[in-house]
Amino acid sequence: MASKVLKEFSYSINLALVGAEDSKKRIFLDYLKEISLKFSSEDLIWKFFFLFEDIPINLKVILADSFEDLISKKIPFKRFDAIIIAANIYNDKSINIINIENYTTFSQRFMFDGISVLAGIDPFLILKNKPLIERRINEFSLIHKTRELELLYCFKIQNLQRDVKDVFDKILNDIHFKLEFLNPELFERAKAYGRILSK
């Protein structure tokens, strides 16, 4: 009975987390682990269950090094609700491999029109270490890439807790508003169930 109720009152969200190996994209997974009531992983696909503003959320995350991976590999997602593109600001190749052609192919393949984020990650500041090299990607480059791909948001990740939380707050607030607008009655029922879970 509990699983039936859970299925009825939770929303499912699919997220693509894309970035080169040195992009430190796994910091987003670490944050989700912290806020989740439960989580699991299998074959680079992570599943998280948590509450956001009392709304029960089932979030599935797939990790990929590039858009080509998402396009060429057989993955169980028919659609994506959001995408986070991570770039290491000390490695210019991490942003150069993100090009309009591959992003367009990805968007067409999955008919993607969801929430899109470019996150420039400063791994040295996150780890509170002194950088060994100079930054290769500045704020202007991040903004330029965001505009080139017509992404919705651009973030610079320098503080592990604050900045990563800001990214997910922005994504989840947008989804929260969309859910409330599309089906207010179901939204309120889901919220009521979320309040029960939070007790």
Per-residue model confidence as pLDDT tens digits over 90-143: 888 888 878 899 999 999 999 999 999 999 998 877 766 666 667 778 889 999
pTM of the model: 0.88
The closest alpha carbon to 193, from 60, 34, 49, belongs to 49
Please tell me the distance from the alpha carbon of residue 9 to that of residue 194, in angstroms, as a whole number. 8
**pLDDT under 50: residue ranges of the chain:** 1-7
Please tell me the distance from the alpha carbon of residue 83 to that of residue 141, in angstroms, as a whole number. 19
Burial 91-112 (b: 16+ CB within 10 A, else e): beebbebbeeebbeebbeebeb
CATH architecture of 2-198: 3-Layer(aba) Sandwich (3.40)
CA 163 remoteness from chain centre: 13
Q: What are the sequence ranges of the domains in the chain? A: 2-198
